[in-house]
Structure 1
């Protein structure tokens, strides 16, 4: 499904309909976007991905457009739903490049879809700021696809910080044993994290007493949680995507899974997660985080809600918006030549709402949040590589 959104002064076309062109083609910069609006990853994409494209493009156009070589050009967004299907992602990227003639394309949503699309981004010369991809293949991918950039870090970095958080809890006596139950979604994201986590947990002296995977889109996760509970763990770790993050936590509440540390990955940072589980969310650890007390994040969150009608999440939303700030600053510095934009991204630092961001080592941003925790109704970052404002970790005290 294609949606052409010609944005000017915050006015967007209705879904599924072609909007009237608000300017001549020479006066616009066409931005392509493909990500799930349906399928298993739609819940995450509709929180972290699409609203930030809307916010950024609205703000750019309200400011008069992108400054390209001294000329203001309005942003026009062309959207496709890939239905959480790599084949559809590939077809959409190809269509954006060859038929829609997009000047730039926002990277897809999720690790697997980004990796699937990388050859096409490279073939057509587009920079791919793979904002929601977490992988240990950063070095090899950036070597093979020099225009591919990463914002959220590597699989090993994420798994390492989860291990470090639990190790510190154990040292402090708030985690009273070494028994870990670990589960993962059988997608590139979850498979890589589980593979990275196993040796790291074992090296740190933890005993993985339950270890299983489940297919992406699994509806009934009660057997997973029941089996994890039966293993009598001290901590529960799930390398999960949004539907299963909610589903596993639903079952953990039902089963009264008694652990001192409970971690789920993507979507733990969503406001809807805190809203759904309320007091039960207190103490839950999850992927990412932000410093919600920073003035930059507060201003961004207020703008996000004003434009989209929804609150941003406490992790990938701000990073997605920051990646669009990077793209904007690179375009305004280097123009519409995509090779020049890629080189500018590779060689410069960028001012974003998360602070400075740069990609000078293997096209990888080296400052990012890794672990967050729900504390007093807010998801605070508790571990990062180089970001300020981390909170001390708290023990998980029950489900009410």
Structure 2
């Protein structure tokens, strides 16, 4: 567990421009925990950390959060949990008990977020997850009344991929044979548990299936075996490192499929940057309304502030989670997290991802489930809740 602090200098500089009363106000300490090392560090570097930087910068540029009529600047303490749930729990506890953080943000990823949920519950802190997808939402919401979900259920996410593939199959563009693989952690296991029966119910035949440990470096045996099974479609519920690795191995092996679908990381701008024209037509988890002016404005602000482009899925949800927390604190006028949590449950919020309302602690507004690289943009091709901006999938043309 490694501690870093940032925005101290910018906080002090901005505070010097404020009136005397605001200048004297104690800063609000924001605690942040997520990987900077380990298998999920790359994903957090795209989706998690830049959004915290943008939010803190924008809030402080406005003079800080208004808490009961007092403007208070934000100061962040961050910890690297090394993609280790035990370190996540240790860091959240330290933030609360030693660093006296006023706000603690939800960790990155499904597994790390759920590992930390009991700690957030005991501390009475709202945990708005923006990178956790699970079919246990109803159970978890009952167990942890301060736990909120923006990405939705695994069954809906897997269903989005199956829905898009079925459209292509029914149009005669692909066949029925599917190779199915998953990363063996909470995220991948839940998705394949939902995705396999959904594929079979839609009339697809699973001709190859396997899983692999998080952090696996050599993915060539998986791709060789998948190719030997002669599938019409390849589906991987994967995390960023393996998403890139599987795609690279598919190109090396010359895997010839009509649909190539990978998980987290497919929506990263760096995915298209790495694979160029070969990315065109690749499908993956997530998506956005690529023509949304609100999203495009947010993306431009993020890049201007951090030098990082958002991914076309969970980045916007991460920033939305911060907007929700900000709005709830300012509306209640307090840092009493019980009041803040109740306000989140009872109200709607305007965010970069549209208006968000929680129904039993799950976003009832809808969310993206599947996307595809089209014309250099990862566009949403399926959503839960009928979001605007859905486009039709097309057959992947093949590796170039």
Give TM-score scaled by structure 2 length: 0.95
Q: Which residue is 2:223 aligned to? A: 225
Shift of 1:190: 0.2
Q: Which runs of 5+ in 1 are unaligned?
A: 13-21
Output one character per residue of 1:225-255: Cα deviation in whole Å (capped at 9) or x when no partner.
1101111111100000000000000001111
Structure 2 CA distance for aligned equivalents of residues 242 and 323 of structure 1: 22
Equivalent residue for 1:206? Answer: 204
1:284 match: 282
Look up the match of 2:391: 391
The answer for the alignment partner of 1:2 in structure 2 is 3
Task: Judge conservation of contact 1:128–1:147 (CA < 8 Å) in 2.
Answer: yes
How far apart, CA to CA, are the structure 2 residues paired with 1:10 and 1:2? 18
Deviation for aligned residue 1:93: 0.3
Unpaired runs of at least 5, structure 2: 14-21
Q: Does 1:129 align with 2:128?
A: yes
Aligned to 2:258: 260
Q: Secondary structure at the match of 2:383?
A: strand
Q: Could you tell me whether the CA contact under 8 Å between 2:372 and 2:378 is conserved in 1? A: yes
> Cα offset for 1:5?
2.1
Provide, for residues 27-68 of structure 1, a one-character-per-residue CA deviation record: whole Å limited to 9, x for no partner: 311110000000000000000000000000000000111111
Distance across 2 between alignment mates of 1:347 and 1:63? 26
1:275 corresponds to which residue?
A: 273
Match of 2:345 in 1: 346
Q: State the distance in 1 between where 2:323 and 2:111 align.
A: 24
Q: Which residue in the other structure is 1:195 paired with?
A: 193
Q: CA deviation at 1:369?
A: 0.7
| DSSP-derived class of the 1:339 partner | helix
Change (3 A) 1:10 1:248: farther
Kept in 2: contact 1:10–1:59 (CA 8 A): no
1:15 aligns to what? none
- In structure 2, the partner of 1:118 is 117
> What's the offset of the Cα at 1:9?
4.8
User: Which residue of 2 is the match for residue 94 of structure 1?
Assistant: 93
Question: Structure 2 vs 1, CA of residues 10 and 299 (structure 1 numbering), >3 Å: closer, same or farther?
Answer: farther
> Does the 8 Å contact 1:269/1:286 carry over to 2?
yes
Alpha-carbon separation, structure 2, partners of 1:128 and 1:245: 27
**1:278-309 Cα deviation digits (max 9, x unpaired):** 01000000111111211111111111111101
Distance in 2 (CA, whole Å) between partners of 1:365 and 1:286 is: 22
The residue number in structure 1 matching 2:357 is: 358
The question of 1:250 aligning with 2:251 is answered no
Specify the SS of the correspondent of 1:72. Answer: strand
Task: Give 1:163-178 correspondences, 5 Å limit.
Answer: 163-175=162-174, 177-178=175-176
Distance in 1 between residues matched to 2:53 and 2:325, nearest whole Å: 15
What residue number does 1:370 align with?
369
Q: Distance in 2 between matches of 1:145 and 1:37?
A: 27
* Equivalent-residue separation in structure 2 for 1:269 and 1:245 (angstroms): 10
Counterpart pick for 1:236 among 234, 243, 246: 234
**2-side partners of 1:28 and 1:322: how far apart?**
22
Worse-matched range after superposition: 165-174 or 235-244: 165-174
Pairwise CA distance, 1:366? 4.0
**SS of alignment partner, residue 67 of structure 1:** strand
Aligned residue-pair number: 389
Task: Quote the offset at 1:261 in angstroms.
Answer: 0.5
Q: Is 1:33 the equivalent of 2:53? A: no
Q: 2 CA distance for matches of 1:365 and 1:316?
A: 16
Asked if the contact 1:143–1:362 (Cα under 8 Å) also holds between the matched residues in 2, the reply is no
- Please give the per-residue CA displacement for 1:179-214, whole angstroms capped at 9, x wherever unaligned: 110000001000110111111111111111111000
